[in-house]
Structure 1
Amino acid sequence: MRFLTFRERLSAHLNLLPTAVYDAFPAVLFGRMLVLATRLGFFEALDRQPKTIAELATSLRLHPDSVGLIASSLAANGYLKQTARKYSLAPQAKKWLIKSSPSYLGNLLNYVEILHSHWMYLEETLKHGKPPKPYTEMFAEKEWEIYTYGMMDLARLLLPHISSKLKLPSNAKTLLDIGGSHGLYSIELCKRYILLHATIADFPQVLTCTQQIIKEHRLEHRITLLPCDVTKGSFNTGRYDVVLAFNIVHSFSSEMNVQFFEKTAAALKPGGVVYILDQLKKERAAGVDKLLPLMAGLNILNEIGGNVYSFEEIEQWCESSGLRNVKHHKLSIPGVSLVRAEKSKNSLVTQ
């Protein structure tokens, strides 16, 4: 994000610049334009060679005036480069917005476009502390597909930052991936630990996509799908060596999380471990590391009535459910945290 130059940032620091206007207008509209440009194929059209405005307009079937504004805006914010009358991709676009790139985030931006429409009723959510209707009751088949592949983009982004920190017991054979969606985390761990078998628990609408993803990785014989609402019922008691709770704690209220952690602890074998990945509030953080979790919290409130929490709150829920050695792993990517906890080897398993 490059809206402000150094001089402009200095003016903002000295309170000489009306930053509220910049936050409320160009930043918001640029985000909307970026999402549309990605979906409409703007970056793909420039992948092979630079193009003029006229060539882009013809390729994308858009009005030349519209294309001119989009191209100039994307260049101003570092996504495109302009040489003479032609535009080409800047490194930011080449890495994140081209489908052939292993770092592609276009599916995630497609999901953000759904969120844009949901933000229209944010005021009503703020009044009542919950959305008029949770997304789980609104999504049709296409929205579930966009959601699942968007979350997979996010997982690909996060995996390099957490992979080395996911250390399972050497004898681990069973893993429960709660709300595992696309299954990418389970797939990664099954490839690393050859004795491991995983169970992915999520909504049946999500697992329709997951089944195809697992098939592409040829792991159908080691990954089982469990269609369910993870907030209802319980998991098999004392069955799993490892539980993953990635980007799910923020979906629940504090009261629901007390119950969720009890269910999670009960599902673990004695000596088992649980990893929690989420956007945690950080009082001492700054910049994106502080703002991103708060905006994620506002969004999840609007989506399903959830919230974001601090490490201390998660630590308390872990300990009250009988988990111990709760550790907070700091990640190099801002706004995201990984927490690890263990179940005592002396814990009794009750059926």
Structure 2
Amino acid sequence: MMADRVPPMRLGAIPDGLVERIGLLLGKVPTPIGEAMYSMPVARSLQVAQRTGILGALAEGPRDPAELAEHLGLQAKGTVRVLDVIATLGHVKQNPDGTYEMTASGRRWLDPRSDTYLGDFLADTYEYWDWYAGLEDLVRDGKHVELHEKAADDPYWQSYIRGQYQLARLSSAEVAKAIPLAKGAHSVLDVAGAHGEFSMALCRQHEGMRATIVDLPGSARVGEEIVAEAGMAERVRHLVGDMFQVDYDGHYDAALCFNIIHHLSPEQIRALFQRIRAVLRPGAPLCVLDLYDREGGQRANLASILGLFFHLTSGADTYTTDEVSRWMGESGYGSVEIKSLRTLPDLRLLVAKAV
């Protein structure tokens, strides 16, 4: 069953005024120049402003740029230039007295006091810069990054997992409502669940629900911190280890497999689905949330950029919903329902019950 699709997001030039709109429509605007030249300073300015504390300081109130630079140990001219770039995005603004402050829309995402704060994710994208420097190697030789092979004590895990947690908070309530649990269900297995936000959302919506998260040591260590900070440690536990090897320790009423299959080969995906099926009670749903490849004939969209990112950082690929549905069927599951989500318009949730 296919749910109504949410229109995909698109990336492109936005005209400022009638003349630019007409020029864009007539093909007179050299958009490749802007796409290649301006996307880099925009991304790096945001990343640097987050890492240096500029955004955190502006979240506290208006600041004189020279005083702000001195307070943070930065150079004044470079600080102003970065602030001006971010101002063009609407996240900060310059006041008539020369001070800069965070806008209301900027505070929604960049103020640490906001429930929708994404600062850790923004800081984590700083790592992407070096990865994309190897894009030509990927295209020419197939050389890719293995972002999950870092040592368990590498500081990267903090920004990576906390950033993913901040993203998950934006959609976890809707996702939890979309998961069909049988009456009396009380246990869920969350494979590669890391931060645990999706498991915690299920626990918040279902009294008596308990979750078991399986993930690698570096990821699980940060995830345990996040769960404890949320006051959910008594209901959400982590099993540390490789999802293909660790004992799942029990039988479950549902299983989550979110944002992981794009890092796996088809053979690995089937093996994972089969491992999960072995610990699911009959009728329990396997829920697979991911970005799926477009079907033949569909145009590329913003999700295609994520598809490239996944290929760059694992060497694997995105798959169509038909492919993954078939692998679920081959692994011991019934018919697959495909659900669209308002808060995750480029992703799909595939649900099939264990038979």
TM-score normalised by L of structure 1: 0.88
Total equivalences in the alignment: 339
Aligned-partner SS, 2:83: helix
In the other structure, the counterpart of 1:336 is 347
Q: Which shifted more, 294-303 or 175-184?
A: 294-303
Note the 1:227-306 alignment, pairs <5 A. 227-232=240-245, 235=248, 239-283=251-295, 291-306=301-316
In the other structure, the counterpart of 1:17 is 29
Equivalent AA in structure 2 for residue 89 of structure 1? M
Aligned in 2, Cα 1:49/1:137: closer, same or farther, shift over 3 Å? Answer: closer
Aligned in 2, Cα 1:117/1:225: closer, same or farther, shift over 3 Å? Answer: same
Structure 1 residue 49 and structure 2 residue 95: aligned? no
Aligned-partner SS, 1:168: coil
Aligned in 2, Cα 1:56/1:26: closer, same or farther, shift over 3 Å? Answer: same
Query: Offset of 1:341 from its aligned partner?
Result: 1.4
Aligned-partner SS, 2:100: strand
Alpha-carbon separation, structure 2, partners of 1:103 and 1:329: 24
Alpha-carbon separation, structure 1, partners of 2:201 and 2:334: 26
In the other structure, the counterpart of 1:116 is 129
Aligned in 2, Cα 1:276/1:49: closer, same or farther, shift over 3 Å? Answer: same
Aligned in 2, Cα 1:293/1:255: closer, same or farther, shift over 3 Å? Answer: farther
Gapped runs of 5+ residues in structure 2? 1-10
Gapped runs of 5+ residues in structure 1? 345-351
In the other structure, the counterpart of 1:175 is 188
Note the 1:160-199 alignment, pairs <5 A. 160-199=173-212
Aligned in 2, Cα 1:91/1:134: closer, same or farther, shift over 3 Å? Answer: same
Q: Is the 8 A contact 1:201 1:230 kept in 2?
A: yes
RMSD: 2.3
Alpha-carbon separation, structure 2, partners of 1:341 and 1:95: 36
Q: Is the 8 A contact 1:130 1:304 kept in 2?
A: no
In the other structure, the counterpart of 2:232 is 219
Structure 1 residue 143 and structure 2 residue 156: aligned? yes
Structure 1 residue 67 and structure 2 residue 79: aligned? yes
Q: Deviations over 1:136-185 (max 9, x none)?
A: 23355201122111111111122244233133222112211000101111
Match of 1:39 among 51, 58, 65: 51
Aligned-partner SS, 1:328: strand
Q: Which shifted more, 160-169 or 302-311?
A: 160-169
Q: Is the 8 A contact 1:105 1:150 kept in 2?
A: yes
Alpha-carbon separation, structure 1, partners of 2:25 and 2:254: 47
Equivalent AA in structure 1 for residue 60 of structure 2? R
Aligned in 2, Cα 1:303/1:231: closer, same or farther, shift over 3 Å? Answer: farther
In the other structure, the counterpart of 2:5 is none
Match of 1:80 among 92, 111, 121: 92
The structure with more strand, counted as a fraction of residues? 1
Aligned-partner SS, 1:291: coil
Q: Deviations over 1:80-116 (max 9, x none)?
A: 1222122221223100011111101111112111122
TM-score normalised by L of structure 2: 0.87
Q: Deviations over 1:255-292 (max 9, x none)?
A: 22222222233331101011111112234777xxx533
Aligned in 2, Cα 1:62/1:225: closer, same or farther, shift over 3 Å? Answer: same
Percent of paired sites with the same residue = 28
Equivalent AA in structure 2 for residue 57 of structure 1? A
Alpha-carbon separation, structure 1, partners of 2:231 and 2:84: 44
Alpha-carbon separation, structure 2, partners of 1:176 and 1:9: 51
Query: Offset of 1:123 from its aligned partner?
Result: 2.0
Equivalent AA in structure 1 for residue 284 of structure 2? G
Aligned-partner SS, 1:270: coil
Aligned-partner SS, 1:45: helix
Q: Is the 8 A contact 2:252 2:279 kept in 1?
A: yes
Runs of 4+ in 1 over 6 A off after TM superposition: none
Q: Is the 8 A contact 1:330 1:338 kept in 2?
A: yes
Alpha-carbon separation, structure 2, partners of 1:163 and 1:10: 45
Alpha-carbon separation, structure 1, partners of 2:312 and 2:352: 29
In the other structure, the counterpart of 2:40 is 28
Q: Which shifted more, 58-67 or 29-38?
A: 58-67
Match of 1:158 among 162, 167, 171: 171
In the other structure, the counterpart of 2:219 is 206
Q: Is the 8 A contact 2:15 2:24 kept in 1?
A: no
Alpha-carbon separation, structure 1, partners of 2:280 and 2:214: 15
Q: Which shifted more, 96-105 or 314-323?
A: 314-323
Query: Offset of 1:203 from its aligned partner?
Result: 0.2
Larger RCO, structure (CA 8 Å, separation 6 or more): 2
Equivalent AA in structure 2 for residue 63 of structure 1? Q
Q: Is the 8 A contact 1:246 1:276 kept in 2?
A: yes
Note the 1:90-105 alignment, pairs <5 A. 90-105=103-118
Alpha-carbon separation, structure 2, partners of 1:29 and 1:160: 34
In the other structure, the counterpart of 1:325 is 335
Aligned-partner SS, 2:101: strand
Q: Which shifted more, 155-164 or 193-202?
A: 155-164
Query: Offset of 1:10 from its aligned partner?
Result: 4.9
